[in-house]
Structure formats: structure tokens, C-alpha cells
Amino acid sequence: MNFVTTGDIAQKLKIDRDAVSYALRKGSIQPVGRAGLVRLFPGTAVSAVKDFLDSKRKPAKEVVGCSP
């Protein structure tokens, strides 16, 4: 089984580690174990974090009626 840490997830998704921790906490994604103080997550946590954060992103608002 492939395990990843919050740092690994952040690096793979090219996002801040705090955003990963937020997604893990709010998305109720639980670690499968620990290595010392480091939490280990299954490899599928990468896509779970990405999906969670994508669902929380608001689409950019279109500005109507503005002239340069």
C-alpha cells in the first residue's frame, strides 16, 4: 500500500500544506497510521483532497458593465 503525508499531498497538488490540512480535517479524511509524529494517509487521499478543494472553490464572478 502506498502512503502519503500532508507534505506529499501538498507537493503533488502544488498547493499550500495548510490547505491540505484543512481539506483533510473538513473532508473527514482519516490517517491510516503514524510514523512518529507524521500522519500517514492512503495514496487515494491525494485525489480526495483535490476533489474536496475543487468543490469548495467558487467560480470567478463575471464583471458586467465595466468599461476600461
Where exactly are the structural domains of the chain? 1-36
Per-residue confidence (pLDDT) for residue 57, from 0 to 100:
79
Phi-psi region of 14 (alpha: psi -120 to 50; beta: other; left: phi over 0): left
pLDDT, position 56: 82
Query: For 10-67, how does the pLDDT look when each residue is reduced to its tens digit (9 = 90+)?
Result: 999 999 999 999 999 999 999 999 999 999 999 999 999 999 999 887 665 665 665 5
Beginning with the edge strand found earlier in the chain, give each strand of the sheet holding 33-35 in spatial order.
Answer: 3-4, 38-42, 33-35
User: Can you read off the three cell numbers belonging to residue 46?
Assistant: 491525494
Residue 67: Cβ-neighbour burial (10 angstroms; 0-12, 13-18, 19+) = exposed
Note the pLDDT of residue 62. 63
